[in-house]
Chain A
Amino acid sequence: MSTDKVEKNPEIIGFACLYCTFKASEMAGSLRLKYPEGIRLIQVPCSSRVDPAFVLKAIFEGADGVFVAGCHPGDCHFIKGNYFTRRKIAALKEMLDTFNMKEKIRLFWVSAAEARRFVDKVTTMYNEIKERKNVREKG
Chain B
Amino acid sequence: MKTGIFICHCGHNIKHTVDVKKLSEFFKKYPGVSVSEDYVFVCSEPGQDLIKDKIIKEGLDRVIIASCAPSLHGEMFKDVLKKSNLNPFLLRRVSIREHCSWVGDDIDKNTEKAKRLILAGLYSAAHHVPLEEKVVDVKKSALIIGGGVSGLSAALFLSKMGMYVYLVEKDSKLGGHVRTLKNIWPSEKNGNDIVEEMVNELVERKNVEIFTSTKITNFEGFFGNYDVMLETPDGEKRITAGGAIIAIGFSPFNPLLKPELKYGEDERIITTLDFEQNIDKLHLSDKPRVAILHCIGSRDEQIGKPYCSRICCVNALKIGNAVKDRYKDSYVESFYMDVRTHPKGGEEYFEDTQEKGVLFTRANVAEINPSPTGIIIRGEDTLLGEIFEREFDLVVLSIGMSPPDDSKLIANLLKITLDKDKFFLEAHIKLRPFDTAVKGIFIAGSCSGPKDIEESINHGRASAVKLFGFLNLGYAYVDPFISYVDPKRCSGCRMCEQACIAKAIKYDEHNRIARVEEAACMGCGLCNATCPSSAISLKGYIDSMIDDEISALMEAI
What is A's interface to B at a CB cutoff of 8 Å? 11, 13, 19-20, 23, 25-26, 28-30, 32-37, 40-46, 48-54, 57-58, 61-63, 74-81, 84, 88, 111-114
Residue-by-residue, is B107-118 near A (CB-CB < 8 Å gives 1, otherwise 0)?
001101100110
B551 close to A (CB within 8 Å): yes
In order of increasing CB-CB distance, the 7 nearest A-B pairs are A29-B98, A49-B525, A78-B524, A61-B554, A46-B524, A48-B526, A51-B529
Proximity string of chain B (399-412) to chain A, C-beta cutoff 8 Å, 1 when within and 0 when not: 00000000000011
Q: Is B549 an interface residue (CB 8 A)?
A: yes
Do most interface residues of chain A lie in helix, strand or loop, or is the interface mixed? loop
Task: Let me know if A45 and B523 touch, CB within 8 A.
Answer: yes
Give every chain B residue within 8 A of A23 (Cβ-Cβ). 71, 437
Least CB distance, B372 to chain A, in whole angstroms: 49
**B538 CB-CB contact with A under 8 Å:** yes
Task: Give B312-352 interface residues, CB cut-off 8 Å to A.
Answer: none
Assess whether A37 is in contact with B102, with CB atoms less than 8 Å apart. no
Q: Scan residues 391-450 of chain B and give those whose CB is less than 8 A from a CB of chain A.
A: 411-412, 415, 417-420, 425, 437-438
Choose from B70, B106, B526 the contact partner of A46 (Cβ within 8 Å): B526
Q: Which residues of A contact B529 (CB under 8 A)?
A: 48-52, 84, 88
Of A37, A49, A52, A61, which contacts B109 at CB under 8 A?
A37
Complex formed: what's the CA distance from A80 to B120 in Å? 29
Q: A48-B525, A76-B415 are in contact. Are A57 and B550 (CB under 8 A)?
A: yes
A47 to chain B, nearest CB (A): 9
Which residues of B have CB within 8 Å of A11?
Answer: 553-554
The interface size of chain B toward A, counting residues with CB under 8 Å, comes to 54
Q: Which of B71, B438, B524, B553 has the most CB of A within 10 A?
A: B524
B478 to chain A, nearest CB (A): 13
How far apart are A33's CB and chain B's nearest CB, in angstroms? 7
- Shortest distance in angstroms between B439's beta carbon and chain A's nearest beta carbon? 11
Least CB separation from B421: chain A residue? A113
8 Å CB interface, B490-548 against A? 499, 501-502, 522-526, 528-530, 538, 540-541, 543, 546-547
Contacts of B418 in A (CB 8 A): 111, 113
Q: Are A114 and B420 in contact (CB under 8 A)?
A: yes
Q: A48-B529, A51-B529, A78-B524 are in contact. Are A32 and B425 (CB under 8 A)?
A: no
A11 to chain B: closest residue by CB? B554
Q: A81 contacts which chain B residues (CB < 8 A)?
A: 501, 524, 526
